[in-house]
Chains A and B, each alone.
Chain A
């Protein structure tokens, strides 16, 4: 299959996501595909990962090497892998992927697991962006979340990464924590701002079903903030980070100009990508497929068939346009009508009559260059708005 044919159907995947499901310990709020790292399981997993990557890349491009523009290694905690395992991991990538076109190569890391040696290895193997799961700078919230690292480690991780040569660093922060006062939040935000990173992802805490934190709320051991308090925290985050020069470009993401995460932008632009590893999602030729989440199920499927897709769905033109709309409206740049129509064949104005009501209520707005977007006031209730567009 030539590139042109694929391009006609959908832009060719330019991003690669690789999932590493291992962690040093499991966080109490996390519902991602992850498990405690052991050498044996990592060994088998990496084997399966190599198989899947080779098969999927060959499916995509039988005659050429796959040369993505972005690579994102997420988890789990990819840096929970040992130096030896990481080395094997990068060898696998190098064997099956042509990294010559890569402009952004991100890895997720935890403050507790990023020593100088690992950081040096990452840099050496081409990783140029690191996303640090700091989450909070206050011990009581770190323990509430079940994070293994200390507040100190969180603070030191950024200078450590800088010292290793990373000039594109992101930190993750969680807000809306139970018992978190406006002052608590401000202290975390000040600490983040002081780190002078290029990028911040700030997530409102979600109590996902099946997590220990959710169970604790159900048992009445933990009292979540009220929706009003959570919304107020979110507003504070947006305002404070902006003052620190970190411009919001997506519901939960902030960056210095030009440092937006390219790989993630691809998701929100509904572009094609290849994802490998447990729970990884791919979007190729308008088909969304997701691998088994469970590591055993993933490994067994790959060992048996070379692939591990658990669910897949081909989107109709209407569905993909609506999905694109919902995703693009997460972005602060918003949606430009003519451009959107040209790209998706969907007339925003006609399909999205609810927008008029939202504009009138100040939940959506038109930017100076005429793009439609969810206003800052609308962001805390973005799902309510987006639900009208699906």
Chain B
């Protein structure tokens, strides 16, 4: 099949704009799935994704489209992109594997923040973008207004919009036609040395690591010796194939093709999304790698500890298994005085973190204690060295630190005009710096702010939804580190610092945050035989304090011969009762597990 009959494209959309259903329509039309299968969302193969209505991992499928007008069969490679901002880099790699994209806009919602972000990415990759207005069958669809937004915000002609409904199957033929006509065929030289872009990978119990590739130049066959450009590691190809949508082995993938490859790979971490696969027969120096490669860098960290100390091994096995399928997820063993043995885990973002946590609890049935999420900080030390901090409890002594630098994000919001004030207030509360504001028509506004990432990973999205009654949308990307007046706040339970409760936060908000933690602790720790002091401190300076009063009376007055057995049993019962309560000793204080959970709960309670 000639390269001129191939088209590689993605569908990009805001969450819930109906991407999966439309994709399934295309699969159905091209005979890749049956009517019955259509009713399951084929591309998303995890329950969690289906529930959340988002795609977590990219997928690719090769469609055979028999075009009615010329009778030719086109090979359309549909590359699905992850639907969330946390996977921005993976989205960009998926787009790099394409020449074109369908930009899906829910006609009942209009252009949203992620639509803009994804469109910008598509333009950066110089893709041929086809705007599609989806859900036009719904009564609330505002076709003209949405088309106008597409033109005004995205600079695409209103007339270019295809009207569609994934649910009803409207516009599917037009879309397939447009893919052939408006997206250019791939370029690339099949006779040049191999260069293939890795845009995704996953682990399969039978085939091992499956690497998703777009061949840019050259060819790929079974048995070829290949090399990962950035790691320099070499492997032998075990199998190549296409997804139709089940993996179907083939003999050859050549320039312009999209497919998969398995090799003598054991560990998914040997495959880096964005890396270039090249022929091992060509010297590494002689190959120009494909542009845009980045090491996946976790931006958000948290500690994950088993609620039951006996589950440490089970948790480790579960993390191993999750990591097999998620090259962006990292973890290492961590020992907390407060929470025992557990793992420090790094994620691309907050959603990524939530997904991992939920899968651990749901698929592996492990009850978890999760510490408050934190971002990665850079500290400049007085000896002119710098250090990267992924765990607040591991921050150097304040006397050694010259300054803190924190990751910053550029955040775009699209909100109805009536909520602008709320969103501005939210951003200001979170130390945001206003960048710009643009109206989309007369009813909605694009706002841009620069906000510390730390302020976003902490319940920001929920807050945005609540202050805009669900209408506000946002997108953000990391733009670099910036100096900030930060401090590590330690929480001391009766004089003993509790590592799991240390946070790094802005000095201005430190006291309020510390007080909230102490009040929650006070409510959760039962009375002891002595007054328990709860303190929050920056360095040696106490910034907040609370106390828990002592048990006043607990004594058996009479204890003679006949009472001794009963008394012993009573005391044993007291002791047994304490043992049953799952708790950790912080110095002389027994802190119930629930206390940590309550303290780490990120929900706001206004009554504090």
Q: Which residues of A contact B (CB under 8 A)?
A: 17, 74, 203-204, 206, 226-228, 230-231, 234, 251-252, 264, 267-268, 273, 275, 279-283, 288, 290, 311, 313, 323, 326-327, 330, 357-358, 360-363, 378-388, 390
On whether the beta carbons of A330 and B568 are closer than 8 Å, the reply is no
Q: A17-B561, A228-B553 known; 14 other A-B pairs, CB under 8 Å?
A: A203-B557, A227-B553, A234-B555, A251-B555, A252-B557, A275-B561, A283-B564, A288-B564, A290-B562, A360-B588, A361-B588, A383-B574, A385-B529, A386-B571
On whether the beta carbons of A362 and B530 are closer than 8 Å, the reply is yes
Complex Cα gap A136–B81 (Å)? 84
Question: Of B529, B578, B587, which contacts A363 at CB under 8 A?
Answer: B529
Given A227-B552, A360-B588, A386-B571: A381 in contact with B564 (beta carbons within 8 A): no
On whether the beta carbons of B530 and A251 are closer than 8 Å, the reply is no
Question: Of B564, B570, B587, which contacts A267 at CB under 8 A?
Answer: B564
Complex Cα gap A241–B151 (Å)? 93
Nearest CB of A to B532, in Å: 10
Question: Which of B551, B552, B567, B570 has most chain A Cβ within 10 Å?
Answer: B552
Shortest Cβ distance from B575 into A: residue: A387
Nearest CB of B to A240, in Å: 17
On whether the beta carbons of A384 and B551 are closer than 8 Å, the reply is yes
User: For residue A267, which residues in chain B have a CB less than 8 angstroms away from its CB?
Assistant: 559-561, 564
User: For residue B558, which residues in chain A have a CB less than 8 angstroms away from its CB?
Assistant: 203, 206, 252
Nearest CB of B to A44, in Å: 22
User: For residue A204, which residues in chain B have a CB less than 8 angstroms away from its CB?
Assistant: 553, 555, 557
Complex Cα gap A65–B556 (Å)? 36
Complex Cα gap A362–B528 (Å)? 13
On whether the beta carbons of B557 and A206 are closer than 8 Å, the reply is yes
On whether the beta carbons of B530 and A361 are closer than 8 Å, the reply is yes
Given A267-B564, A357-B587, A383-B570: A388 in contact with B575 (beta carbons within 8 A): yes
Question: Of A228, A230, A280, A390, which contacts B561 at CB under 8 A?
Answer: A280
On whether the beta carbons of A383 and B555 are closer than 8 Å, the reply is yes
Complex Cα gap A145–B551 (Å)? 27
On whether the beta carbons of B554 and A381 are closer than 8 Å, the reply is yes
Nearest CB of A to B525, in Å: 15
Nearest CB of B to A373, in Å: 14
On whether the beta carbons of A380 and B564 are closer than 8 Å, the reply is no
Complex Cα gap A268–B556 (Å)? 14
Beta-carbon contacts under 8 Å, B543-591 to A: 550-562, 564-565, 567-568, 570-572, 574-575, 578, 587-588
Shortest Cβ distance from A382 into B: residue: B555
Nearest CB of B to A212, in Å: 18
On whether the beta carbons of A378 and B529 are closer than 8 Å, the reply is yes
Shortest Cβ distance from A275 into B: residue: B561
User: For residue B564, which residues in chain A have a CB less than 8 angstroms away from its CB?
Assistant: 267, 281, 283, 288, 323, 327
Complex Cα gap A227–B552 (Å)? 5
Q: List 20 A-B contacts (CB under 8 A).
A: A227-B552, A251-B555, A267-B560, A268-B559, A275-B561, A279-B562, A280-B561, A288-B565, A311-B565, A323-B568, A326-B571, A327-B564, A361-B530, A381-B551, A383-B571, A384-B554, A384-B574, A385-B529, A390-B572, A390-B575
Given A326-B571, A387-B574, A387-B578: A381 in contact with B562 (beta carbons within 8 A): no
User: For residue B529, which residues in chain A have a CB less than 8 angstroms away from its CB?
Assistant: 358, 361, 363, 378, 381, 384-385
User: For residue B578, which residues in chain A have a CB less than 8 angstroms away from its CB?
Assistant: 387
User: For residue B565, which residues in chain A have a CB less than 8 angstroms away from its CB?
Assistant: 281, 288, 290, 311, 313
Nearest CB of B to A341, in Å: 21
Top 8 nearest A-B pairs by Cβ distance? A357-B588, A227-B552, A387-B574, A361-B530, A227-B553, A203-B557, A281-B562, A281-B561
User: For residue A290, which residues in chain B have a CB less than 8 angstroms away from its CB?
Assistant: 562, 565
Complex Cα gap A303–B571 (Å)? 35
Given A281-B564, A378-B529, A390-B575: A251 in contact with B551 (beta carbons within 8 A): no
Nearest CB of B to A288, in Å: 6
Nearest CB of B to A175, in Å: 9
Complex Cα gap A230–B571 (Å)? 20
On whether the beta carbons of B562 and A275 are closer than 8 Å, the reply is yes
Give the interface SS of chain A, mostly helix, strand, loop or mixed: mixed
Shortest Cβ distance from B569 into A: residue: A390
On whether the beta carbons of A226 and B552 are closer than 8 Å, the reply is yes
Shortest Cβ distance from A380 into B: residue: B553
Nearest CB of B to A136, in Å: 15
Question: Which of B529, B530, B556, B587 has most chain A Cβ within 10 Å?
Answer: B529
Question: Of B552, B559, B568, B570, which contacts A380 at CB under 8 A?
Answer: B552
User: For residue A383, which residues in chain B have a CB less than 8 angstroms away from its CB?
Assistant: 554-556, 570-571, 574
Complex Cα gap A362–B551 (Å)? 14
User: For residue B554, which residues in chain A have a CB less than 8 angstroms away from its CB?
Assistant: 380-384
User: For residue B571, which residues in chain A have a CB less than 8 angstroms away from its CB?
Assistant: 326, 383, 386-387, 390
Complex Cα gap A273–B557 (Å)? 21
Nearest CB of A to B534, in Å: 15
On whether the beta carbons of B575 and A283 are closer than 8 Å, the reply is no
User: For residue B575, which residues in chain A have a CB less than 8 angstroms away from its CB?
Assistant: 387-388, 390
User: For residue B555, which residues in chain A have a CB less than 8 angstroms away from its CB?
Assistant: 204, 234, 251, 379-383
Nearest CB of B to A224, in Å: 11
Given A361-B530, A388-B575: A381 in contact with B553 (beta carbons within 8 A): yes
Nearest CB of A to B343, in Å: 29
User: For residue B570, which residues in chain A have a CB less than 8 angstroms away from its CB?
Assistant: 383
User: For residue A206, which residues in chain B have a CB less than 8 angstroms away from its CB?
Assistant: 556-558
On whether the beta carbons of A390 and B568 are closer than 8 Å, the reply is yes
Complex Cα gap A206–B550 (Å)? 20
On whether the beta carbons of A264 and B553 are closer than 8 Å, the reply is no
User: For residue A323, which residues in chain B have a CB less than 8 angstroms away from its CB?
Assistant: 564, 568
Nearest CB of A to B529, in Å: 5
Complex Cα gap A268–B564 (Å)? 9
User: For residue B560, which residues in chain A have a CB less than 8 angstroms away from its CB?
Assistant: 74, 264, 267
User: For residue A230, which residues in chain B have a CB less than 8 angstroms away from its CB?
Assistant: 552-553
User: For residue A388, which residues in chain B have a CB less than 8 angstroms away from its CB?
Assistant: 575
Nearest CB of B to A304, in Å: 22
The 8 A CB mask of B526-546 against A (1 = contact, 0 = none) is 000110000000000000000
Complex Cα gap A52–B428 (Å)? 86
Beta-carbon contacts under 8 Å, B174-203 to A: none
User: For residue A379, which residues in chain B have a CB less than 8 angstroms away from its CB?
Assistant: 555
On whether the beta carbons of A363 and B530 are closer than 8 Å, the reply is yes
Question: Of A231, A268, A363, which contacts B553 at CB under 8 A?
Answer: A231
The 8 A CB mask of B319-344 against A (1 = contact, 0 = none) is 00000000000000000000000000
Complex Cα gap A218–B556 (Å)? 20
Complex Cα gap A130–B239 (Å)? 99
Complex Cα gap A383–B569 (Å)? 12
User: For residue B552, which residues in chain A have a CB less than 8 angstroms away from its CB?
Assistant: 226-228, 230-231, 380-381
Complex Cα gap A280–B557 (Å)? 19
Beta-carbon contacts under 8 Å, B21-52 to A: none
Complex Cα gap A378–B530 (Å)? 9
User: For residue B562, which residues in chain A have a CB less than 8 angstroms away from its CB?
Assistant: 275, 279-281, 290
Nearest CB of A to B495, in Å: 9
Complex Cα gap A387–B575 (Å)? 6
Complex Cα gap A384–B588 (Å)? 13
Question: Which of B555, B559, B572 has most chain A Cβ within 10 Å?
Answer: B555
Nearest CB of A to B494, in Å: 9
Complex Cα gap A385–B550 (Å)? 13
Shortest Cβ distance from A385 into B: residue: B529
Complex Cα gap A61–B561 (Å)? 21
User: For residue A387, which residues in chain B have a CB less than 8 angstroms away from its CB?
Assistant: 571-572, 574-575, 578
Nearest CB of A to B573, in Å: 9
User: For residue B574, which residues in chain A have a CB less than 8 angstroms away from its CB?
Assistant: 383-384, 387
